[in-house]
A = this chain, B = another copy of it.
């Protein structure tokens, strides 16, 4: 059997678990650590695939739950799969819909068999099981597909977490069996277990035993304090095989990217850059900037003096603020472009730093500039923001 996705290790950091590698996929080789922009409904909000390519994005994420509801996996398959449908020839990862079923859908009922829920669009009754989700993801045709899991809330009782994990591990096994295109699509297992380290350990061991071509750490950045998240991560990643990619789901604030890489993570995704952009918040090398603030009304400097993106080369804060205040689409297009570009450049910097074995020095420098090492700035960090879809 051909393995559709393979991890190649290029270099390890001498001081941390950070590692520099390549994830080879049927749609290109992805330099890692990597940030994957999120294209929930087969489009990274406001951006075109040409722009994503121009920014250097190699892989994007799309959502099984949303695509199942609209336009439906049959239609996407008819269009030649997600790649053909959205005209994106880079790599794609689809999540399993587990997270959305538990956060967006109505009237859900979980059993060992699967989850009954109602569409958040039209209220129609639906049922997701490991088998049905695999069939959907097989039709969507992404390069990497995720096992159907339950993502428990934080906090959750020990009891809840145990039951949930037992189910998630059972579902992982059933996903592996039901996966219809293992030669073309790599199925990743997801380690759950909440903040309980022994459950995380059991989950990792069970999944490694099942032998997936890649592993995700799920159930983090769901409301727990950052130190808890970082500890769970530090504990969990060393339990995963070194020759497989490791993906931290739903995480993408700049500090979390650094902390994740430091703890051995190769892949990240998050709606943060596009979501905060639509709200008028941009990431800059000197911290976050809330464009709608009056102080930028007559500020004719670029969003970020140190950024060389199309937006920063061409437009001023005053113009972008005007567009946002006037409700013009170009405003959120440009802030989205800049924010995604910014995170991709952060990851590029991280990759270069690991190559030169300067990861911690680069992190220190970034934190100093961004303001993470200020007491005041920490208060405005992205912790606790809702970045769930």
Q: Which residues in chain A, 72-99, are within 8 Å of chain B measured between CB atoms? A: 75, 78-79, 85-87
Q: Quick check: is A43 within 8 A (CB to CB) of the other chain?
A: yes
Asked if A325 lies at the interface with its beta carbon under 8 angstroms from chain B, I say yes
> Which residues on B sit within 8 Å (CB–CB) of A46?
329-330, 333
Contact with B along A21-65 (1 / 0, CB 8 A): 000000000000000000001110111111000000000000000
Contact A319 B87 (CB under 8 A): yes
A363 at the interface (CB under 8 A from B): no
Instruction: Count this chain's copies in the assembly.
Output: 2
Give, as a whole number of angstroms, the nearest-CB distance from A239 to chain B: 39
The closest CB in chain B to the CB of A322 belongs to: B71
Are A330 and B78 touching (Cβ within 8 A)?
A: no
Task: Report if A107 contacts B (CB, 8 A).
Answer: no
- Kindly state whether residue A328 has any CB partner on chain B within 8 Å: yes
Tell yes or no: A300 within 8 A of B by CB.
yes
Residue A271 interfacial (CB < 8 Å): no
Pick the interface stretch among A209-217, A285-293, A310-318. A310-318
B329 touching A329, Cβ below 8 Å: yes
Q: Across the interface, which residues of B come within 8 angstroms of A310, CB to CB?
A: 50
Q: In the complex, which residue of chain B has the Cβ closest to the Cβ of A316?
A: B79
Flag whether A298 is at the interface (Cβ < 8 A). yes
Q: Does A326 contact B (CB under 8 A)?
A: yes
Question: How extensive is the interface on chain A, given as a class?
Answer: 35 or more
Is B41 a contact partner of A318 (Cβ separation < 8 A)?
no
The answer to whether the Cβ of A126 comes within 8 Å of any Cβ in the partner chain is no
Minimal beta-carbon separation of A317 from chain B (angstroms): 11
A70, B326: Cβ atoms closer than 8 Å: yes
Residue A297 CB within 8 A of the other chain:
yes
Interface pair B78/A45, CB less than 8 Å apart: no
- Of A47, A49, A300, A334, most B-chain CB atoms within 10 Å: A300
Q: Is A43 a contact partner of B316 (Cβ separation < 8 A)?
A: no
Contacts of A331 in B (CB 8 A): 43
A87: chain B residues at CB < 8 Å are: 314-315, 319
Q: Which of B47, B298, B318, B328 contacts A43 (CB 8 A)?
A: B328
Please give, as numbers and ranges, the residues of chain B lying within 8 Å of A220 by CB-CB distance. none
Residue of B whose beta carbon sits closest to that of A310: B50
CB pair B333–A48 under 8 Å, yes or no, is yes
The answer to whether B322 and A45 have CB atoms under 8 Å apart is no
Considering the chains assembled together, what is the distance between the CA atoms of A67 and B263 in angstroms? 51
A323 contacts B by Cβ under 8 Å: yes
Given contacts A316-B79, A318-B79, A319-B79, contact A71 B297 (CB under 8 A): yes
Min CB distance, A319 to chain B, in Å?
A: 6
* Contacts from A to B (Cβ < 8 Å): 41-43, 45-50, 66, 70-71, 75, 78-79, 85-87, 297-298, 300, 310, 314-316, 318-319, 322-323, 325-326, 328-334
